[in-house]
Every structure is written in C-alpha cells, then in structure tokens.
Amino acid sequence: MKKIILLFGVFLFTLSLNSNIVSASDDLFVDGDYISRDPITNKYSSDWSHLDTPENLQLQKEVREYFSQLNNIGIQSESRQLNLEHDLEDLNKRIDDFLSLIDPEIAAYNSQESNLITPMSSYGLPGIDQTLVKIYEGRLHLAIGNLTPSNIATAIQNSNAARDHGIRYAENNNFYSNGKLITWENAADALRHFAWNYMNSNDFGVAKAKTTGDIHELALIALKYVNNDVSTAQLCKFNMSCMEAAAIQKTINNSNLAKTNITAFNNIFDNASVMDLINNAKGRQAYSQGNATYSVPFNRMLASGELVKALSGVNSTVRNNAWVEYK
C-alpha cells in the first residue's frame, strides 16, 4: 500500500504544530537510559547475524548493480521504463521480504494489514508515512550503504527503540498539542536521534552509524522526490515502482553532490534534516568520547545548547556545521 503525501498538507500541519504546541520545560533531563545493553554481547540490538546469508548478500549485490545500471541508462525511453518495471517487480518483492523479517511494522505494511500499520502523523510527526520511510531506508542501504544485512537489521531495531524512548520522554515532559503527543521539533526529537546514533555506534561502529544516520535523512528526501518530481512521474506514467526507483537514484546522485559543496548541500537538505544531522553527530560524538551511557551526555549537551531542538535554531552556522559532519 503506497501513499503519495501532499507537501502542502505537510506544510499546513507543520504550521499548526508551531502555533499550538504546549509543553513542559524542554530542558528537563533524561532520568537514565531507557534501553540497556545486553550483558553478554554488550550490544543494544539482538544478534542478527543469521541474516548474513548468501541469498541476502546476493540481494544486496543485485540492488547495487541495478541502481548503478539505472544511473548509467536512466529512464529516458518507454522501452527502458517497461524494462525498469519488469526488473523491479522481482527485486522489490525480495527487498520487501528481507525487510519484513526485521520489522513487524514493515511486514504489516507490505501485507497491507492496515490495522497493524503505524498511522501517518502518529506521535506528532508531520504528515510523513514513517513505515514507507523505513522501507526507503532499507532500499538505500542495499543500494549504496556499507552495512551488512545484519547491520541493517540492527539499525532498524535500534531506531524503533530510540523512538520509544523519545515517546516516553515526551510523555514525561507533557509534550502535548491539543491532546496529541508531539515528539517532533522538541527535545524528544533530539533525544531520539542522539540515542539512536549512540546505540548504533556501540553496536557496529561510528563510521557505519554515520552512514545509517545520513541514509535516514536521504530516505525523507527520496519521499519528497516521489511526491513532487512531476516530470519523472509523467515519464513513469505514474507507475509507483518506476517513480520510487527514479527518486532513489536521484537521491543517491544528489547526496554525492552535496558532499562536494555547501551550496548543493543547502539545496538538498531542509532545516529539519539539518537539525537531525547535528543531533545524529552529537550522539556519535558522545559514544566516541567514551561515555558509558547516552543519557548523561544527552543531558549535558541539552543544557549547553549543543543540540538543536527546533527549526528556528537552524542558522547558517548550524548549516555549515552540519555540512562539515555530512561530507
């Protein structure tokens, strides 16, 4: 079940968030790590090594080859478009099956069991289909990332755990708007990204944690391309598989360009993504500095103003810092 999200609606929803948020003080500290390491493995996530099978590694190889071919040939003709759709039918099915092994929300989404799907805008997120974003993340990981299949599973599991801590934090601090819990553009949002990157750094290293954090933001960009690239949609005759593949390839190309100069970076990443990139980097920094937990450095950086809690906190200096971290 695929959804096209109208950004105009997202814009209106975001405006309503900014005008109606009622919360307790944003500087209330986290009272401790909500997620703990396994005492034996010293990792936050489960052992997903059983996913590093020849079949899944072959899938990763084929996805990379597919998008490499798409980058070289493009979808400039109807015949190429038809071949693209034919190639994608089997590939997307295998990707969906792989991701469904990891995340029950993705499994429910792919089986179209709508009563089990986390609804759009749940937890105060601004009109974005979060499960579809996770699927795009998985595709991007397989296409360009340096993570193994087990690493991808770890990243998704840790993402869900960090999200749960952000929700708990928002509840404890009374981050409600018109009776609805808000975990976006406040300290709960900063905690979610900070904790996730700390946990990933612990579980598979800082370099891969950076890749994971960057790909999360790129998945949001891919979703925007699907929703707004009218010329590609027309070329694809509004076939969703074709539109998604083109959007992911465009995202890959632009993400590489963004590493070369800050103008390209600013053209691609909006303030929300810049905010997340900074908070992601701070979580990795906290781990690299040898902190035994993520709650203590989070509290310290929250108090010092190193974390970005709102879009209004993104200025040219913050953007430059985010670009330095990204490139």
State mean pLDDT over 84-91: 70
Which pLDDT band holds residue 81 (cuts at 50, 70, 90)? Answer: low
Vertex 90, ends 84 and 96: CA angle to 5°?
Answer: 110
Residue 127's pLDDT is 53
**How far is it, in rounded angstroms, from Cα 139 to Cα 147?**
12
Tokens of 158: 């840790």
User: Which amino acid appears at position 31 of this protein?
Assistant: D
Which pLDDT band holds residue 24 (cuts at 50, 70, 90)? Answer: very low
Q: What is the pLDDT of residues 215-274, one digit of tens each?
A: 999 999 999 898 888 888 887 778 788 888 889 999 999 999 999 999 999 999 999 999
Tokens of 240: 């969703």
Asked if 282 and 306 count as a contact pair (C-beta separation under 8 A), the reply is yes
- 189: Cβ contacts below 8 Å, ≥ 6 apart: 166, 183, 275, 276, 279, 309
**How far is it, in rounded angstroms, from Cα 194 to Cα 283?**
4
Asked if 169 and 188 count as a contact pair (C-beta separation under 8 A), the reply is yes
Give the torsion through C-alpha atoms of 107, 112, 118, 124, to 10 deg: 130
Q: Is the dihedral of CA 253, 3, 60, 195 positive or negative?
A: positive
Residue 72's pLDDT is 65
3-state secondary structure of 176: strand
Which residue would you say has higher pLDDT here, 168 or 83?
Answer: 168
The region of weakest confidence among 2-16, 52-66, 127-141 is 2-16
- 322: Cβ contacts below 8 Å, ≥ 6 apart: 265, 269, 274, 277, 278, 281
Q: What is the pLDDT of residues 34-76, one digit of tens each?
A: 888 999 999 999 999 999 999 999 999 999 988 887 776 555 5
| DSSP assignment letter at 312 | G
Residue 218's closest CA among 162, 265, 185, 156? 265
The residue count of the chain comes to: 327
Maximum C-alpha span of the chain: 59
Average pLDDT, the chain: 83
- Residue where the block lists tokens 């070329």: 235
User: Which helix (H) or strand (E) is 187 found in, with range?
Assistant: helix 187-204
DSSP string, 117-129: SPPTTGGG--S--
The percent of residues above 70 in pLDDT, for the chain, comes to: 82
The region of weakest confidence among 103-107, 161-165, 210-214, 297-301 is 103-107
The answer on pLDDT for 320 being more than 70 is yes
Asked if 124 and 6 count as a contact pair (C-beta separation under 8 A), the reply is no
- Note the pTM of the prediction, 2 decimals: 0.84
